[in-house]
Amino acid sequence: MARPQKQGLNYYPKDVDIFSDRKIKIVMARYGADGYTLYDYLLCEIYKEGYYMKTDDDLPYIIASDLNMSVEKIGQILNFLLERSLFDDKLFKSDKVLTSTGIQKRYQEAVRSRATKKTVLVDERYWLLSSDETSSFIEARHSDNKSENNYSFSEINPDKSENNSTKESKEKKSKGKESIYERIRAMYNETCVSFPRCASLSENRKKAIGARLKTYSFDDFKFLFEKAEASAFLKGANNRNWNATFDWLIKDANMAKVLDGNYDDKKKPPKDDGWGVDFDRQDF
């Protein structure tokens, strides 16, 4: 059996004047260090696989877990990167693929040494470089059996490659989901110290968290737990036989009410000595 052709890179070249690039400056001006961090993260993921990366609905949650960013912010930055042509917008809209001509130019230079032994095969569906820009050792081919992880451009059994890549993809998605679920559970236990602990995550709890993440960000959960801990009512001040729990807080209607401030403690009016002055204040 022939040895599989390696597609991914162990490292990728980076220009030392990257922060002088106008596009990078604009991204950082708009989103700060988070903008560049996400861009660099995506480049690493792309070059790890080769010269492009297939995306799916789970990817933002995996990135959110890895980079500690909200899913909404990730979406905003990615859209901006596409608008500014740091990734090819047309290919992303048609095939949910992240790549660019610059990425592919750097890729073909990085694999030049491999071409001394064997032609480097690429998928013509996602190859953006023109024939004039493509090096002679690159051969663009259409591959219907290519796995999502970009490894089936070789003489290995395509069915086996597809099964393995699918399994790896599912495991990666599963780990990403589990990670953010666990982080939310741990954040609740650390923040809501006056409430019953959430000892484990049942399937129903995971489903509830997943449903809320379609509307709310990771930061919204943090705000939710902080507001709950600050609420005397939710801690049972009005009813000693009841207080909120993790399950209660992550219900759709309850989460909305807590975030809207419906259970915030009412501020007591200042003491008035008859002169309209609060003599309990210490700042006069």
Cα separation, 182 vs 196, in Å, equals 17
- In a shared domain, residues 212 and 140: no
Cα–Cα distance, 83 to 102 (Å, whole number): 15
Cα–Cα distance, 209 to 225 (Å, whole number): 14
For residue 205, count other CB atoms closer than 10 A to its CB: 17
Question: How far, in Å, CA of 120 to CA of 174, rounded?
Answer: 32
Task: Answer yes or no: do 123 and 249 share one domain.
Answer: no
Residues 35 and 129 in one domain: yes
Find the mean pLDDT for residues 258-269.
83
In this structure, the answer to whether residues 113 and 84 fall within a common structural domain is: yes
Q: Are 78 and 84 in contact (CB under 8 A)?
A: no
User: Is residue 1 one of the residues assigned to a domain?
Assistant: no
Instruction: Pick 150 or 221 by higher pLDDT.
Output: 221
Tell me which residue range forms the domain holding 217: 171-259
151 and 216 fall within a common domain: no
Domain total of the chain: 2
Average pLDDT of 124-138? Answer: 91
For residues 25 and 129, membership in a common domain is answered with yes
- Do 208 and 131 fall into the same domain? no
53-54 and 97-98 beta bridge pairing: antiparallel
Regarding whether 67 and 129 lie in a shared domain, the answer is yes
- With 90 as the cut, is the pLDDT of residue 149 above it? no
Domain stops at, among 105, 126, 156: 156
Domain presence at residue 87: yes
Q: How confident is the model at residue 271 (pLDDT cuts 50, 70, 90)?
A: low
pLDDT of residue 7 exceeding 60: yes
How large a percentage of the chain has pLDDT more than 90? 52
- Which pTM does this prediction carry? 0.51
Over residues 174-205, the pLDDT tens digits come to 555 568 889 999 999 999 999 999 999 898 99
- Say which range, 5-19, 23-37, 263-277, has the weakest mean pLDDT: 263-277
Question: Is 273 a member of any domain?
Answer: no
Q: Is 177 found in the same domain as 151?
A: no
In a domain, 23, yes or no: yes
Report which of 177, 243, 189, 188 is spatially closest to residue 213, judged by C-alpha positions: 177
Q: Assess whether 43 and 152 both reside in one domain.
A: yes
Q: What share of the chain is helix, strand, coil (3-state, %, to 5)?
A: 50, 5, 45
Do 216 and 121 reside in the same domain of the chain? no
283: in domain: no
| Cα distance between residue 53 and residue 178, in whole Å | 22
- Which residue from 2, 4, 12, 71 is spatially nearest to 38, judged by alpha carbons? 71
In this predicted model, which residue has the larger pLDDT, 82 or 160?
82
